[in-house]
Amino acid sequence: WSSTALKVDGVLEVGGVRLTDLVAEHGSPAYVLDEADFRGRAQAFRAAFADYDVYYAGKAFLCTTVARWVVEEGLFLDVCSGGELAVAERAGVPAERIGFHGNNKSLAELTRAVELGVGRIIVDSFHEIERLAAVTRELGRTARVLIRVTAGVEAHTHEYIATAHEDQKFGFSISSGDALEAARQISAIEGLELLGLHSHIGSQIFDSSGFEVAARRVLALHAQISDEVGVVMPEMDLGGGFGIAYTTQDDPSDPSQLAIELTKIVTEECKARDLAVPRLSIEPGRAIVGPAMCTVYSVGTVKAVELDGGAVRTYVSVDGGMSDNIRTALYDADYSATLASRSSDAPALLSRVVGMHCEAGDIVVKDEFLPGDLVPGDLVAVPGTGAYCRSMASNYNHALRPPVVVVKDGASRVAVRRETVDDLLRLDVDASSQMGD
């Protein structure tokens, strides 16, 4: 739960706003974004990584309001598409505070990024180096680039496996020599300024040793580029991926300890090699916005289903589902849920919170003990839905994507409005009537 969430007489309040009142005003389902919590986590990252630049990873969740908070809190912004870049631009994020990611940025996206003068473009392939070089030539501008490298560290959800995972689409492999070759090519192109290396080992990482292994490998390449290409790069980015607790079973490691460790590794290795210490940066997304949001749903139907062996599972259907949170279906992710609109003394029953979509895998919360007297109209809230829920939401079954409602000091404001049927129909052009035009 976000830091201001508390229950008063069974009613969940976030940011001083009762969710019963919030739903009365804004409807359900709704994402509830706790502004104080978001800002607090952004500040905590800045404090823990005081000598780093902290880039908020917009892919976790981005809207104009959040982009403004990011700037106000002194963070930088990582975008990974022309769409995210457009939000950053609209929010007035200074271009030099933007990092632009992506393994297949289009010519149009690269052109826009160079025109705006974004602070760094993280290049991911030889084709992109060519494409970006052409853009800078055409525009007569210089682009500052980082090379995305594959450190050979595989980050699973709760673990990492060293030396694995070359076999994926991102980055230049260190071990094959591609990353070194990329540095050679970039340093020979007039319009490109080689700023540094970038490594992102995965997401929802609990064990910080993966970051440390990656940092050592990236540093070794950093030193090799200095020796063999003759460029001492001023920056190094160690990516995002800091895990959060989705349920009480989860116990992520403390990123502030990691900050100290990584600084130590980089400083010591650079000293040993007589190299200037590069400016470090990180890119947390989930760890800032994940806990800052919850989703509130209305219960529509409740059904007891007998399982093999005689046990009973209560299926609680809510007015959202996999269209507003695909993570359970896609990653088998764990979430929790609570009755948010009243207190109940009824014995808790093993329950599954499911959505209203046309498939059995449409599960929001796999297993939760919820009061046995749930009825239609009750509100159920699911915490930890800030990251990769609204940003991965879909219109499956022509569902209308829920709004993002910001709560703070007892007041609520809409940051992303609820989709309407008109929004859906606006894109739906009747081609049948155009045939033969």
Instruction: Give the interface with ligand LLP as residue ranges (CB under 6 A).
Output: 57, 59-60, 78, 101, 200, 203-204, 239-242, 283-287, 327, 331, 387-388
| Strand-strand pairing, 312-318 and 293-306 | antiparallel
Given the complex with ligand LLP, which of 106 and 168 has the nearer CB atom?
A: 168
Q: Is 284 annotated as a binding residue?
A: yes
> Which residues are annotated as catalytic?
358
Distance set, CA 286 to CA 60, 116, 129, 376 (Å)? 6, 27, 29, 32
Beta bridge partners of 278: none
Q: How far is the CB of 122 from ligand LLP (least distance, A)?
A: 7
Q: Is 102 annotated as a binding residue?
A: no
Provide the token pair at 59: 């892919």
Packing angle of the helix pair 107-116, 126-139 (nearest 10 deg): 50
Distance CA 384, CA 398 (A): 25
Q: How far is the CB of 303 from ligand LLP (least distance, A)?
A: 28
Given the complex with ligand LLP, which of 53 and 378 has the nearer CB atom?
A: 53
Q: Is 285 annotated as a binding residue?
A: yes
Given the complex with ligand LLP, which of 334 and 373 has the nearer CB atom?
A: 334
Q: Give 181's contacts (C-beta < 8 A, 6+ positions apart).
A: 126, 172
Given the complex with ligand LLP, which of 121 and 387 has the nearer CB atom?
A: 387
Continuous segment of H or E residues that includes residue 184? helix 178-187
Q: Is 286 annotated as a binding residue?
A: yes
Provide the token pair at 186: 């970039």
Q: Is 283 annotated as a binding residue?
A: yes
Give which of 253, 355, 235, 255 is closest to 297, Cα–Cα: 355
Query: Cα angle at 203 between 76 and 199, to 5 degrees?
Result: 60
Q: How far is the CB of 204 from ligand LLP (least distance, A)?
A: 6
Outline where 273-325 has alpha helix (H): 286-289
Q: Is 120 annotated as a binding residue?
A: no
Given the complex with ligand LLP, which of 355 and 371 has the nearer CB atom?
A: 355
Phi, psi for 338 (deg, rounded to 5): -145, 150
Q: How far is the CB of 347 from ligand LLP (least distance, A)?
A: 34
Strand extents, DSSP E, 139-278: 143-150, 153-155, 160-162, 172-173, 192-199, 235-237
Q: How far is the CB of 79 from ligand LLP (least distance, A)?
A: 11
Detail the residues annotated as belonging to a binding site for substrate.
286, 327, 331, 359, 388
Detail the residues annotated as belonging to a binding site.
241, 283-286, 327, 331, 359, 388
Detail the residues annotated as belonging to a binding site for pyridoxal 5'-phosphate.
241, 283-286, 388
